[in-house]
Structures are given as structure tokens and as C-alpha cells.
Structure 1
Amino acid sequence: MKAKSAMLVGMLGILAMASPAFSAGFAIIEQSVSGLGNAFAGGAASAEDATTVYFNPAGLTRLKGQQAIAGLHVIVPSAKFEKENASNALGQPISGGNGGDAGETGIVPNFFYSANLDNGWSLGLGVTAPFGLVTEYDKTWVGRYHGVKSDVMTININPSVAYKVNDRLSLGAGVSAQYVDVNLTSMVDFGLAAFQSSGGNPALLPIVSNPDADVYADLTADDWGYGFNLGVLYEFDDDSRIGLAYRSRIDHTVEGEGDFSLQNPAFLSAVGLQAAAQAAFPDQDVKGDITLPASASLSVFHRINPQWAVMADVLWTEWSTFDWLVIEFDGGLADSVTAENWDDSWRYAVGATYSPNEKLDLRLGLAYDETPVPSAKYRTPRIPCEDRIWTSIGVGYQIGERMKIDFAYAHLFVKDSKIDKSTADAENLSRGNLQGEYENEVDIASIQLAYSF
């Protein structure tokens, strides 16, 4: 498995640097800088450059010649937690701070290539990171038993083909080979486990939920999965078109290793429990199932005149596939189970582009993005997302005959999100109660180069 990961990094270079930040759920729509300027409104209908490989492969038939695009998105999220209550199953307060800013800056690159064969057929290739998240807290924060670090990275290789049926209708399809790498860490309250296994020995109460008695669990696993995408583009005339696109779900069974380490071996040795802690948490193999959701989008694009174009988009994501997060251990530990119970989510976007001349495009967009998390009960520190409103601007400039550069910026106003994890639910008996609220926001800055030949 490690050799497979090393080969992937060698093949794809900079893509392996991607450390995406959380989005609505943990999907990453940031696959086009030109599209970001319009808040990705009209994504399945605009088809103005090779990034249409991701949003609607049928749009490839609108492009002339060949084009290569490289884009880079810097995503800067902020997720600051404020505790209301943190206590263990015995009702004792859990020590620690609020964990700092859990948002981690992420770099999301992508690459696209398109070729029009001038016989009705067009080809395309997209290399993207369609899902990902990074959140990280201090190891001694009050919610450490629910999560410390969460890092999910995907790389999706998506060759596509499109055919122009007639002057109005184009069809497209693609296949995806998708790699996913998952790293989840958390603290284990060994002091509580030792107290309970002793039958409630009061002498062990001082080590319950004591950071010096904690065990650090570091789980890493990866997998390849496969899926497909389909698209339809219908052009009413030269200025108006509608697009429909679908991406399939992709099932992954990730396998890897669980490493466990004592946070303060000397402390546990002093209370006579070092050997017991090491015996209870040996390093072992881990496995889990992840289904990354299907999505479908319906988009419209209309050019009012040579200077102005408007577009709109609605996107559905099948997040209801994410109902449980289950990690299986093969070394005797009980499975780690977290109920997610996510709902399908919707995203709505509108945008406009003003082109004062043939070289310059000025873009703006607005979007509303629903969270798939149904309630505070099912929100976890790993993904503390909520509903968000996107505001975005962008500029594209034609440099000479073949090169175009695009810049875009978006700010996401994210609703404060509440969390309510309770030991009344069996999965939280060892993790504790955790109630509080997150203050969230996201900034995105992007650059893209397109070369036509």
C-alpha cells in the first residue's frame, strides 16, 4: 500500500500537495478559476474552457483546437469553537481549551486538457481533487476524545469524450479513477477505561480524563475506487444553452494502519498502568468503508449582448450515503462508530460576466450552499460545517493569441454551527459530552493559466 502511494505521488507531482479544507460536507467544487468568479453558476452550461471536463463533458464540443489549463486554489477556512460544556460519562468536567482555530489552509490544484477532433468528437482529461478536508485541534483540547486531526485527500483522474449529435445537441461521458487517503487522529481516555475496568476504584479517579493518561490514536488508510460521469448540453441558439450533468457515487474500502502512543509514559508508569495501557492499545491494521456521493447539476447560460452574459445553476449532492463512520480494528479493539445521518444537500448559484472588450472578462457570483448535517446532534468536530453564502468576483485577461490568465476571489459567510454530543448516545460514552458553538468563515483565492493551441 505504501509503494502504491509513493508511485501516485511521483506520477502526479504537485497534486499530492493538495490539502483541501472542508466545504459543504467535504466536497470541493473549486475545480475552475473562471467558474469561481461566477460562484460556479452555470457550471454545466457555460463550457467556455477545458474545465468543462469536470462540470459537464458534453461542453467539450464547444471548444476549438486544443487547450491545457492549470489552476491553483488557496482555501483559507476558519473554525473557532467556544465551549458550553465538556464532561465525561461520570459527569466530571474535561479539562482543556477550545482547541484553537481548527481550519487549516488548503492548496487545491487541478489540471485539464481538451482536444476537438473536428469530426464531431472531442476528448478531454481532468485531474482534480473533488473531495477533501483538513481540521486540526490541540491535543489537549476539551473535545480531544471526539477528534484531533482529520485529513481526507482525493485525487481523481477523469478522461472524457463528447460527441456533437447536431448543431444543438451534444453528449458527453467520462470515467474516474479516484484515489483517497484518510488520516484520522483522536485521544483515547485511558484513565476512564482503567477506572471502569477496575470496578470503580476511587484511587483511579485522578487519572480519569487526565491528559497525562491519554492514548493518542493515529489512523491512516487509503484506497482506489472507480466511477463515471455523464453530461448533456443543448444550445437553443448561439447565445443560450442549458446543461445537465451527473457524477456517480464512488465506493471505497480504505485499509491501513492504526498507531497508538502513550502521551506520558512516565505518568502511567508512576501509577502502575503503563504496561496495561500498552497491552490494551497495540498497533494494528484498520479498515473502513467510505461512499463518496453522487451529484447532479442543472445549469443555464445566456449572453444578453456582446458585453453581458448571465448564468444560473442548481446542484444536488447525495450526502445521504454518509450515514455512519465505522472504523474496524483487527487487533481486538471494538469498532469505532460515529453516527453521521447526513441529508442530501442543494446548492443554488447565479452569476454574471461583463466583457468590455475581447481581452477582458469581469465576473461576479452569488450562491447559497446547504449543509448536509441535519442537526447539532450529528455535527462532529471533524466537520463542523453549516449553511453558507458565497460571494465571488473574478477577472480573466487574454495574453496574446494563445494564453489566458484568470484570477478569482470568494468569501463564504458561514452560519455559526452548534454541536451537541451526549453520553446518552452509546457511541459517546468513552468520548464524553461536548456542547458548544463554532464561528466559521472561508476565503478562497485562485489563479489559472489556459493555453490554446
Structure 2
Amino acid sequence: MHKTIIARSLATIGCFALSQAASASGFQLLEQNASGLGNAYAGSAAATDNASTIFYNPAGMTELQDREVSLGASLIKPSYKFKNNGSSVAPAATGGNGGDAGDLATLPNAYFSMALNKDWYLGLGIGAPFGLKTEYDPDWVGRFHSVKFDIQTMNINPSIAWRMTDKLSFGFGLDWQRMEAQYERMAAVASSSLPASFYPVVQNTRVALSASSEAWGWNTGVLFKPSANTKIGLSYRSAVKHDLEGTLTSSNQAISPDVLASASVKLPDTWILSVAQQISPKWEMLGDVSRTGWSSVQNIDIVRTSGSAAGSTAQTLEADFRDTWRVALGANYRVDDKWKLRYGIAWDQSPVRSDSARLTSLPDNNRIWLSLGAGYAINKASRIDVGAAYLIIKDTNIDNNQTSQGRGRVSGTYEGSIAILGLQYSQAF
């Protein structure tokens, strides 16, 4: 009966695990459980509260009971409000501020772990490690840069763990990942030789890229327990290269006929080093340092692969990302045998190098995480965790000049923030 329920739950989560709201810097999604959310994901590679350790450090499965399942979801509400300050709109066009480019999204996750014997464990995780959606009012000043940008991923992660000694465990996993991308903007007047009367015809044409890809990656981790009160975790998730294929469509075939198109992007790798230290029967301290290789995302060429212009580049998204650091500190307070309270704070660096390199599709900046959470043990085998976080994003300047491509200059300031609420149910049996 338990196996049937688990199988159905994992299948349901898999159908909806494509997510589209960034919360960590860039478009990374850390919200793969609710228990860690309350700690701002401090100690993520050393925390072994439930089966979600499969994502952060598969070696942590050796700390679990014989069979465990964990199901959860997070609601993520980003807000990005642009205020114009000297934008130079494409020729013969005007526009507004675009409204709030952020949108509410749901991020589900599911994990199952089981012991083969006292030292070997198998696990399966389903989640979405990357996602992003920004969508502006269709008449905003930056509509020739972007109107809608939507990245969704789903990651299926079978894993294995081995307890080598009572103090040292290793884990390894494979990652099958699906990525879907949509990018929409209004067509730009790239040639000054066109008569001015023709500008509105071009500028009222909406062009859209829709593409998808499937690719493989891997992850690994080690868990070291130098004493009964100390756990140290080190984990690594590999980069995943996606070769997306799809279509480039237009609302005006006379201006831009539909063609097949492709684009390639290498999603970044991540290192995490974590410590969990029990300092008293009631208090546990958590620490976390992570490094994400965002420099793998540089220029992204959208290339036509059919039609008379096959092989030519329709547009280049100049991301020019840098590698980033994230530092988090957290604490757990055990009230009694049933209740645990969680606290956390984190600093998260943006991969965007400068105001001129900032894209309207990703108005990202450094952010501070403020987190709270609680866990309630229903009984010895089952637990409910809730977590909440508010991400403070400093006012973000942008001065992206694409006038030479006919898309104008977007100059101004974004006011941004992100609110997250997570819920998780874990069961051992």
C-alpha cells in the first residue's frame, strides 16, 4: 500500500515539476524542500532531516531510516517593478513602465529513499533546479528587448549512497533534466533605410522563440561526522548543457516568417560546503558556503535552422554572467519532542556584472534572505515542516543599450523583492 501511494505521488509531482520562478541569484531554485527554507538553506549539504537530502547531498541518505518519503511544494512570488529614467525607445515608439514583471509560481518536489542493507541506500528525487519568468505589459518601453521570458526545468535524480564507516559516507546521483524556454518580444527596426511609415508595421509584430531540450548531468557528495555532534557535508552538482530546438514564430509572416530555431546554454555547476553543529540539547547551528559557476552562461545565440536564412543568427542574448558566492547561517531550536523552530539568514550574489549587462528578462541583483520555519512531529514516523522567507533585493539599475540593433536603450531602476512559502510532509516506514 505504501509503495503504491509513493509511486502515484512521485508520478503526480513529475507531471508538475516544471517550474518558472527564480528565487536564488540568476535563475537558480534552491527551494527543493520546506525544512531547509526556514534556515535560508544554511547547512543544506549536512542537514539530514528527511529524504530531500538526495538533492543537496545524496550521502545524507545513510542517516535516514530504512524507507522515507518526502513530498512538498513552495509558493514563490517575485516582484520586479521598473521605473524609467532616460530610456531611449526604438524609433517612432513610446511606452510605459511595464507593470510588475514578477508572477506567482508553484515549485513541487518529491523524494524517496530506501536502505538496501545497513550500509547501502537508493534514492529518487524529482524537482526543478532552475526556473525564471518575467512578463511585462505589452506596451512597455523595453518591449523590443523582451515582453516575456520563461524558463522551466524538471530534474529526475536517481541516487545511491554508501556508508564506508560510522563517520564517513559517500553519495552519487545521475540527473535527467528537461528544459523548456519561451522568449517573446516585439520586432525591432534594425535598418535605417526603411521608410518611417513602415516602422509601426514592424514594431507591432510580436516574435517568439519556443524551444526545449533534454540532457544529462550528475551529482555527488560526502558526509563526514568527526564527532557525535558535528556533521560536515561537501556536495557538487555538475553543469548541464542544453541544446534547445524549437520554432521562431511571428505574428506577421510578411515581416518575419516562421522558421525552426536552436539555442545552446550550459546551466551552471554548484559546490556546497556545509556544517551542522549541535551545541546543546536544544540548539543546533548551521553554516553554508556555496559557489555557482554562472560564467558558463555567456552569449546565447538564437540561430535559424530552416528557411532561406538558415544558419544565420536571429538574435544574441548577451548575458556575460560571472561565477557567484552564497553564504548562509542558520539555527534550529528544539522546543520539545514535537516542535522544532528554524531561523536563517543568507547573502546571495548576483551573476550580473554591471548595469549595462543587465537584461530586462532577468533584472537580477544581490539579495539578502530572511527566513523562519517550524517542524512538527505528528508521531515518530511522520513530520510536517513549514518555512517562509523574504528576499530583500537592493534597488537595481539597468542601462542596457541595444540601439544599434533597433531595440532602443532601457535605462532606469527596478524595485524588487521575493516572498516564499513552503510546506512539506515526510514519512518513514
In the superposition, the TM-score normalised over structure 2's length comes to 0.93
CA contact (8 A) 2:23 2:76 kept: no
d(CA) in 1 for partners of 2:265 and 2:11? Answer: 22
Gaps of 5+ in 2: 1-9
Equivalent residues, number: 416
**Counterpart in the other structure of 1:272:** none
**What does residue range 121-270 of structure 1 map to in structure 2 within 5 Å?**
121-189=120-188, 192-193=189-190, 196-198=192-194, 204-208=195-199, 210=200, 213-262=203-252
Q: Deviations over 1:33-58 (max 9, x none)?
A: 10000000000111221111000011
Q: 1:323 aligns with which of 298, 302, 311?
A: 298
**Counterpart in the other structure of 2:47:** 46
Q: 1:391 aligns with which of 354, 366, 370?
A: 370
Q: AA paired with 1:434?
A: V
**Counterpart in the other structure of 2:79:** 78
d(CA) in 1 for partners of 2:295 and 2:274? Answer: 23
Secondary structure of 2:17's counterpart equals: helix
1:112 deviation in Å? Answer: 0.6
Deviates more, 1:72-81 or 1:414-423: 414-423
- Whose helix proportion is higher, 1 or 2? 1
Q: Deviations over 1:91-115 (max 9, x none)?
A: x574111100000111100001111
d(CA) in 2 for partners of 1:211 and 1:137? Answer: 21
**Counterpart in the other structure of 1:405:** 384
Q: AA paired with 2:271?
A: A
d(CA) in 2 for partners of 1:24 and 1:145? Answer: 25
Percent identity for Structure 1 against Structure 2: 38
**Counterpart in the other structure of 1:115:** 114
1:22 deviation in Å? Answer: 4.9
d(CA) in 2 for partners of 1:411 and 1:213? Answer: 38
**Counterpart in the other structure of 1:269:** none
Q: Does residue 1:97 correspond to 2:96, yes or no?
A: yes
**Counterpart in the other structure of 1:5:** none
d(CA) in 2 for partners of 1:294 and 1:334? Answer: 27
d(CA) in 1 for partners of 2:352 and 2:119? Answer: 43
Secondary structure of 2:254's counterpart equals: helix
Q: 2:284 aligns with which of 276, 285, 309?
A: 309
Q: Does residue 1:430 correspond to 2:421, yes or no?
A: no
d(CA) in 2 for partners of 1:339 and 1:34? Answer: 36
Q: AA paired with 1:149?
A: K
CA contact (8 A) 1:57 1:173 kept: yes
1:87 deviation in Å? Answer: 2.0
In the superposition, the TM-score normalised over structure 1's length comes to 0.88
**What does residue range 339-358 of structure 1 map to in structure 2 within 5 Å?**
339-358=318-337
- Counterparts in 2 of 1:211 and 1:335: CA distance versus 1, 3 Å: closer
- Counterparts in 2 of 1:444 and 1:10: CA distance versus 1, 3 Å: closer
Q: Does residue 1:36 correspond to 2:37, yes or no?
A: yes
1:14 deviation in Å? Answer: 2.9
* Structure with larger Rg: 1
CA contact (8 A) 2:22 2:130 kept: no
1:85 deviation in Å? Answer: 2.2
CA contact (8 A) 2:202 2:255 kept: no
1:236 deviation in Å? Answer: 1.1
**Counterpart in the other structure of 1:381:** 360
Q: AA paired with 2:222?
A: V
d(CA) in 1 for partners of 2:207 and 2:296? Answer: 26
Q: AA paired with 2:130?
A: F
Q: AA paired with 1:215?
A: T
d(CA) in 2 for partners of 1:386 and 1:211? Answer: 36
d(CA) in 2 for partners of 1:311 and 1:220? Answer: 42
